[in-house]
Amino acid sequence: VPVFLFVAAPYIRRYVAGGRCKSTARMEGKVVIITGANTGIGKATARDLAQRGKVIIACRDIAKAEAAASEIRAETGNQQVIVKKLDLADTKSIREFAEKFLAEEKELHVLINNAGVMLCPYSKTADGFEMHLGVNHLGHFLLTFLLLECLKQSAPARIVNVSSLAHHGGRIRFHDLHGEKCYNRGLAYCHSKLANVLFTRELARRLQGKFQRQVGFTANALHPGSVASDLVRHSFVMTWLWKIFSFFLKTPCEGAQTSIYCAVAEELDSVTGQYFSDCKPAYVSARGRDDATAKKLWSVSCELLGIQWD
């Protein structure tokens, strides 16, 4: 058995690594925002895109973000790696981020909604939203809304939403969106990842309908794979399992490949409303293809955030 494992190890690792983004597209003169890019796949995505163009790292922890940005600047030689404060658990912070960005930048070509929380003990955001729903869905929903006009004027532009295979286990519980009646932190994560898929689907539909003559204004979602990162830090058991089975997990660089692919691949210039994994189209759950639920979630999200997005 040990000999077999030794021989098979490279093949196992190659399988675990999954697809790679092969695009060499340059992004000179283009601007990319990546939320939660101070660690994990967000940081790996920022490192790759910094070799192509200007990257704005939007994070809650400025100290960690500055450390990551400094490292990326040194590795890539690109000084256009900029840190901006963004706390997705606070709509005031999201609005302040968008206001400052729009005052300082004229264009935005790629928005990667990457940041997320997972397996949190029950808690609420500054606005009273259940943490998974608030950060993973509503925070990015509001951020996209506030930056949409800039993206539209900068087209061709892309919106990339990092979801998860976990969306298959989710459902949108409109009668208990904030988990006040019943809460399971694993399921709460699944629900929020399903919300990412439904948001992407409805956003793409609306963009196509409203800007159908505008080439290359797209929105897609993705599953990065099971990645060795600190996303599972809220669960002692998952942290322990992640360490034991790290050989069978993607590295952050490997996990970032589909995010990078969705952001730069030339063949996706007119592809929108899709869901990818390992740099290729992937299967979406039946709930993730429910247009009625997507439309209702859109309406409820606007109501919760106090915005009108027609």
Task: In whole angstroms, give the CA distance from residue 67 to residue 84.
Answer: 13
Can you read off the two tokens belonging to residue 130?
Answer: 């259940």
| Long-range contact pairs involving 170-175 (C-beta distance under 8 Å, separation at least 24) | 170/194, 170/195, 170/285, 170/287, 171/287, 172/198, 172/287, 172/293, 172/296, 172/297, 174/296, 174/300
- Asked whether 21 and 265 are in contact (CB, 8 A), the reply is yes
User: Among this protein's residues, is 15 annotated catalytic?
Assistant: no
Active-site entry in 11, 15, 122, 189? 189
- Asked whether 142 and 307 are in contact (CB, 8 A), the reply is yes
Torsion angle of the four alpha carbons 239, 243, 246, 252, in this order, in degrees rounded to the nearest 10: 50
- Asked whether 5 and 28 are in contact (CB, 8 A), the reply is no
Task: In whole angstroms, give the CA distance from residue 180 to residue 262.
Answer: 36
SS3 of residue 50 by DSSP: coil
Quickly tell me which residue has 């830090």 as its tokens.
Answer: 233
Task: In whole angstroms, give the CA distance from residue 118 to residue 239.
Answer: 12
- Active-site positions read 189
